[in-house]
Structure 1
């Protein structure tokens, strides 16, 4: 029987720490002591290694306590992200900042579905809300969204409609950061959005204006009041293709 992430994401202590000196090692009550995955201090290598151990495993196998038996729907889409967070012992929180504080890495789970006979990203990767009040004063070198793009842990999972969440399977996982070509495209998109906002043309923003980095509608206001930075779906599909070796990097 496979272990859930509650057990799977633990590390054994040294043999001398497994039981108190006074406890009989032959006792049936003797249990191994475990420690949580050190998400706040883990290195990039430790984080990526743990993520790759999830590949090929269904979500039901990873964290059954979070009830992944329900079918996927917009109301419970957050369950998948919570399951992957639990695999790294990241507590539920809504604070700003990276999920892996010490390494400065954010965790993003991305659904993959079949589109036109080919696996593609079902959603954009959201990078946080756009602050229209401060954006005109920003420069790319210190832009808020640029820090979000520094390095991310991307976990791709297979999504199917009307399917129990627990049957979704992890397809690929790894650290990602934009290469030189992608960085130039992202900067150009950011500059276009920033200039439009600075010129008072915020309501003219549209995702169709950019190639990689988008200003996606999110929240109330039908796009005119609130938007979020995001990596667009075709680009996310390209990242997935590179990660599984289908597409050249």
Structure 2
């Protein structure tokens, strides 16, 4: 079975999607991979997107790598999130690639980040390195939209980071910028450069950047759900 096939047709409603996701809670990677007929990698170092791909197969996601949400008809984005034994996130969550040029007049309301995070199906997955990948289990899913407070935090960080990009300060941004949203390099290697704006408005080449949600954002979100 290849990564662009689905085991199930796309779900017709959010409720159907949530029920399908709830049915996976407690299943191990081995169980799901075996039933889907796909091989399990030894670890995720070279196959970072493997867990997400496996869940897409089971849930009937159809967007693949396209810019639209994973469940385009429902407007729902799928995000897997590795958690520790206490239900806390183990790493930051990739949202989308950041546009480094052509940003005149962009606003939060029509931004790609807001679009991606307007409705998310969070799938927690055991991420403890001590547990072999095959034995890691899926947690119970969360269908989420940002509260007004969460949206405010995201908007504030996004606007600050976009100001840096537009004003040619891209190289000054560190992972410490932003309270809940950060911008950092996203490239398989340091040769994959892309165009950006320099300090004097001149075109420069730099590493592609991605927006990531910090653990300070996802931890309270999970804690509310799991009542930690």
Could you say which TM-score interval applies, normalised by the shorter chain? Answer: 0.7 to 0.9
Alignment of structure 1 residues 47-196 onto 2, 5 Å: 47-64=17-34, 65-68=37-40, 70-90=41-61, 93-113=64-84, 118-161=86-129, 163-196=131-164
2:216 equivalent among 212, 215, 234: 234
Q: Which moved more, 1:234-243 or 1:186-195?
A: 234-243
- Determine if contact 2:82/2:89 at 8 Å carries over to the other structure: yes
* Structure 2 Cα separation of the partners of residues 89 and 243 of structure 1: 24
Q: Which runs of 4+ in 1 moved over 4 A?
A: 220-224
* Structure 1 unaligned regions, length at least 5: 1-9, 11-35
- Determine if contact 1:136/1:194 at 8 Å carries over to the other structure: no
Residue number in structure 1 paired with 2:197: none
Aligned length: 207
- Determine if contact 1:214/1:231 at 8 Å carries over to the other structure: yes
- Determine if contact 1:152/1:176 at 8 Å carries over to the other structure: yes
Secondary structure (helix, strand or coil) at the match of 2:19 reads helix
Larger Rg computed on CA atoms: 1
- Determine if contact 1:121/1:234 at 8 Å carries over to the other structure: no
Q: Deviations over 1:42-80 (max 9, x none)?
A: 211111111111111212222312223x43231123221
- Determine if contact 2:63/2:69 at 8 Å carries over to the other structure: no
Q: TM-score, normalised on structure 1? A: 0.75
| Alignment root-mean-square deviation, CA | 2.3
Residue number in structure 2 paired with 1:16: none
Secondary structure (helix, strand or coil) at the match of 1:74 reads coil
Q: Deviations over 1:114-156 (max 9, x none)?
A: 5xxx442122221111011133430112112211111011100
* Structure 2 Cα separation of the partners of residues 57 and 226 of structure 1: 36
Secondary structure (helix, strand or coil) at the match of 1:155 reads strand
Residue number in structure 2 paired with 1:23: none
